[in-house]
Amino acid sequence: MFDSSSPLYLSLKVGIVATLIVVISAVALAALLDKKEFKGKHFIESLILVPMVLPPTVIGFALVFLFGRNGPFGILLENLFGIHVYFSWLGAVIASVVVSFPLMYQSAKAAFQKVDSRWQNIGRTMGASEWKVFKDITIPLAWPGLLAGVILTFSRAIGEFGATLMIAGYIPGETDTLPIAIYFAVESGQMEQAIIWVVVLFSFGLMIVYWLLYLNNRKTSKWLQ
């Protein structure tokens, strides 16, 4: 079940890589835009969040158009680095990054907005650089919200199906993440295998919801105290 060609192993690999990319980039962007107002900010944030309301087929089509063999980024990556995104596990990573990025961005933005700016100002008056204020004050205070975002991002990356199928396709042992494996197992009549993967995903989803509720209850309890 957990060898390098299994859907579970591939899903975890895609989920971990996508989560690392999303967490670093989304937290950096949220910190950059936090409490800053400028012309065009709402349009930028609309572009960031629009994958949340688009059908997976639209996202998948955009990825195929951009990263396909004849797409601008697809040709660029192939010519410069010899990397093929289309019908590869990297395509699954890119699809997971696109659909989960808004979740992490929103979580990070909300977490940063809840940080009391007085603590940040105290750090600045003591001579701390902006990076040190961010690292030693903002991140620790925003950590519960950021952790919730990380959990949501990873779970969304693990569960991505539509856009992944369009850009990565179905190649057993190479691009068949758990959702895709379930779909094709049902299509081919392998119901027992499909049930196994469904139970795995359901258990994972239940664990995710439990931890989110647990974190939320902890934050509520501390606030009441």
User: What pLDDT is recorded for position 147?
Assistant: 87
Please give the tally of structural domains in the chain: 1
Any domain includes 53:
yes
Q: DSSP string spanning the chain?
A: --STTSHHHHHHHHHHHHHHHHHHHHHHHHHHHTT---TTHHHHHHHHHGGGTS-HHHHHHHHHHHHSTTSHHHHHHHHHH----TTSHHHHHHHHHHHHHHHHHHHHHHHHHTS-HHHHHHHHHTT--HHHHIIIIIHHHHHHHHHHHHHHHHHHHHH--HHHHHHH---TTTT--HHHHHHHHHHTT-HHHHHHHHHHHHHHHHHHHHHHHHHHHHHHHHHH-
Note down the domain range covering 24: 7-176
Is residue 40 in a domain? yes
In whole numbers, what is the pLDDT of the chain averaged over residues?
Answer: 86
pLDDT value of residue 172:
84
- pLDDT digits 0-9 by tens, 176-206: 889 999 999 998 889 999 999 999 889 888 8
Q: Residue 54 corresponds to which tokens in the numbers above? A: 């688009």
Give pLDDT, residue 4: 64
Predicted local distance difference test score (pLDDT) of residue 224:
39
In a domain, 199, yes or no: no
CATH number at residue 13: 1.10.3720.10
Where the chain has pLDDT below 70, the residues are 1-4, 215-225
Nearby residues of 135 by Cβ (< 8 Å), 6 or more positions away: none
Quick one: pLDDT at residue 216?
A: 67
The rounded distance, in Å, linking the Cα atoms of 179 and 155 is 12
Is residue 184 a part of any domain in this protein? no
Q: What local confidence, expressed as pLDDT, does residue 109 receive?
A: 92
In a domain, 197, yes or no: no
In a domain, 205, yes or no: no
